[in-house]
Amino acid sequence: MLSKRLYLFDQAAAPKELRGLIGGKVREGPILQNWPNILRAAATMAAGIMPPS
């Protein structure tokens, strides 16, 4: 069986019913540092220019 976990910016904000599914905290630094590249990649995937793989 495949195990799936949720990752949150604020773990304390998760409802108690979901706390067993929480895998950890999102590392915001790398996301913020790479945000322009993330948006560029998402746009090229949405346009069909770059495959999601």
Q: Where are the alpha helices (DSSP H) in 4-53?
A: 28-46
Residues β-bridged to residue 22: 6
Instruction: Note whether residue 52 is domain-resident.
Output: no
The 3-state DSSP class for residue 48 equals coil
Could you give the CA distance from residue 8 to residue 23 in angstroms, rounded to a whole number?
8
Domain that holds residue 23: 6-46
Place of tokens 């090229």: 44
Q: Is-above-0.85 flag for pTM?
A: no
**What confidence score (pLDDT) does residue 50 get?**
87
Could you give the CA distance from residue 44 to residue 53 in angstroms, rounded to a whole number?
12
Instruction: Note whether residue 37 is domain-resident.
Output: yes
Instruction: Note whether residue 53 is domain-resident.
Output: no
pLDDT (tens digit, 9 = 90+) per residue, 6-51?
999 998 889 999 988 999 999 999 999 999 999 999 999 999 998 8
**9: its two tokens:** 């910016």
